Amino acid sequence: MTEGTSRIDAFSDGVFAIAITLLILEVRLQHAGVEGSSLWTGLVALWPYYFAFALSFFVILVTWIAHHDLMRLVRATSRPVQLANGCALLYVTFIPFPTAVLAANLGGTEIGTAVAFYCGTFVFGSGAFNLLVAMMARGQLFRPEVDAQTIGRIRRGYRITFMIYVAATLIALVAPWWALALNVAVRLHLLRIRYQLAPSVPRQEAQLTP
């Protein structure tokens, strides 16, 4: 019923690499909406597209790091883990769409709706990662060196991250830029945690929650 994780890792890596590269397809001169003016004006007017591109690139990169940190803790995979991982990948492949919505509305009057939709995607994604961790725990797939306390800490971390994304989605409706800043802050914090802890504590405590 269980097997190693190399196959699922390779497939997931492919999906992450493709999703992160497809983001650029949304950055197009026609989107600048300043036909007739100089090329320079057009390139500058595309700033929301550069911003959304870089932001989603950062989001997918951190999610990829977190995904690998998590997969390294398990010794095997199971059908429920494959399906929960499928949900996580569904979220990753979906990101280019809310990114396009964000870019098209960042400078407009509907920025609140666009950012709420963007953040709502992360709520779904975080839910998928929570499901993935739960399926790993239920199938007792963690490596022997990952003790119960560590697993508890990881699951708590994922639950807190989920609630922060819910909060960011609500904040987006009234203060969209603050919601985006919160999203960046959470991910920078998660990256820093592991970096600071890693030298002195066992590997598995240095876990990232996307």
Using CB under 8 A, list all residues that contact a second copy.
1, 7, 10-11, 13-25, 27-29, 38-40, 43, 53-54, 57-58, 61, 64-65, 68, 79-80, 82-83, 86, 89-90, 93-94, 96-97, 100-101, 104-105, 110, 113-114, 117, 191, 194-195, 198-199
- What minimum distance in Å lies between the beta carbon of 16 and a second copy? 7
Phi and psi at residue 107, in whole multiples of 5°? -100, 10
- What minimum distance in Å lies between the beta carbon of 23 and a second copy? 7
- Exposure string of 176-209, with b = 16+ CB inside 10 Å and e = fewer, is beebbebbeebbeebbebbeeeeeeeebbbbbbb
- Name the residue nearer to a second copy (CB basis): 40 or 148: 40
- Name the residue nearer to a second copy (CB basis): 80 or 159: 80
Amino acid at 104: A
- Name the residue nearer to a second copy (CB basis): 89 or 179: 89
- What minimum distance in Å lies between the beta carbon of 166 and a second copy? 18
∠ Cα 126 132 137 (to 5°): 130
- Name the residue nearer to a second copy (CB basis): 73 or 148: 73
- What minimum distance in Å lies between the beta carbon of 148 and a second copy? 23
The three state secondary structure string of 149-180 is HHHHHHHHHHHHHHHHHHHHHHHHHHCHHHHH
CA 61 to chain CA mean position, Å: 8
- What minimum distance in Å lies between the beta carbon of 96 and a second copy? 5
- Name the residue nearer to a second copy (CB basis): 93 or 140: 93
Residue 74 tokens read as 């398990």
Helix (H) or strand (E) holding 188: helix 176-197
